[in-house]
Amino acid sequence: MSTEAVKQKLLMVANSGVYFDFPPEQIQAYTREVVSFLKNHKDTVDNIEYFNLLELQFWLDIFTSRDVDAKIVLDRISDQFASVGTSSRLKILQSAYYEAQGDVERAKKVLGDDANQLRLQRRLTTFQRQNPEAYITALNRYLDTCGSDLMAWSELATQYTNTGHYDMAAYSYQEILLQEPSAYPFWFRAGTSYYQQYLQQQKSLKPQPAIELLDLALKHFARSVELCHVYDNGWKGIQSLVDLGVPAKLKSAPGSDAYAKQLAKLKPLIPTSTTN
């Protein structure tokens, strides 16, 4: 992958907030990648891109308990913006760092009392994570006033998934895709939400809406690998639908023939490594 392609991939990850839902092995891989990129290719990014990637490195360091590295990055960002006062974005990073240290009270205190600053308001909602329903309500309230916050939409989708509301998770991912149509991990996640909804409701669903959910899942998985041909998760999603095929009770549903043809068309394209 070219340096420019790596840069664009990392910026997409940084700007979309998709990394908040990465599994541990993916967090580790991206940590190594962003550290290496900033070390070897800093001259290829402008100031805004540089600090977006530094912020990505900070969060990945926090998630992997690399507290010393996170503090170094945080100090670097703080030094840059010290002359313009403490921004809400910087307060959020400082709050996250203190929370990672186990100092929840200081994490709350650094945010201040001005909940009207939208970024700080979102950060304050995270302290309700122990109560999923309250957290969902707080995130929705925040998104009513700041619908462009992709990280909040991603977090909301995760909470809906954790509570089994797969239809609402899919809706949240669609809100992200409206703003970031090239964010292939979210095409995969939306597809997964549709598939999970099908699995959850398959016994009660009538044939046509069941096929529609499977078709939506397939289209979203296919779009993810169209945007990134080597995206394993997208291919695994397609493989899972190919393995399922068209269930017998759905074969008479309108659209089932077209869906079966799409499965047949995609099956030979699945990389061998996915099928093994």
Q: What is the distance between the alpha carbons of residues 122 and 13, in angstroms, rounded to a whole number?
A: 19
Q: Which residue has the higher pLDDT, 244 or 147?
A: 244
pLDDT for position 140 = 86
Determine, yes or no, domain membership for 249: yes
Determine, yes or no, domain membership for 29: no
pLDDT digits (tens, 9 = 90+) for 179-194: 989 899 999 999 999 9
pLDDT digits (tens, 9 = 90+) for 241-265: 999 999 999 998 999 999 999 999 9
- Mean pLDDT computed over 135-143: 83
- Mean pLDDT computed over 66-90: 80
Determine, yes or no, domain membership for 177: no
Q: Say yes or no to pLDDT of 118 above 50.
A: no
Query: Taking all residues of the chain, what is their mean pLDDT, rounded to a whole number?
Result: 87
- Mean pLDDT computed over 216-220: 97
Determine, yes or no, domain membership for 192: yes
Which of 32-46, 138-152, 155-169 shows the lowest per-residue confidence on average (mean pLDDT)?
A: 138-152
Q: Say yes or no to pLDDT of 113 above 60.
A: no
Q: Say yes or no to pLDDT of 275 above 80.
A: no
pLDDT for position 166 = 96
User: Band of the pLDDT at 122, cuts 50, 70, 90?
Assistant: low
Determine, yes or no, domain membership for 266: yes
Determine, yes or no, domain membership for 247: yes
Domains contained in the chain, number: 1
pTM beyond 0.85: no
Q: Say yes or no to pLDDT of 123 above 80.
A: no
**In which domain, by residue range, is 209 found?**
182-275
Burial of 245 (C-beta count, 10 Å sphere; 0-12/13-18/19+): middle
Q: Which residue has the higher pLDDT, 113 or 250?
A: 250
Q: CB-hemisphere CA count at 13 Å for 220? A: 25
Q: Is-contact 237 217, C-beta < 8 A?
A: yes
Q: Which residue has the higher pLDDT, 20 or 250?
A: 250
Q: Is-contact 47 183, C-beta < 8 A?
A: no
Determine, yes or no, domain membership for 216: yes
Alpha-carbon separation of residue 67 from 38, 77, 187 (angstroms) = 19, 15, 32
- Mean pLDDT computed over 216-236: 94
Determine, yes or no, domain membership for 223: yes
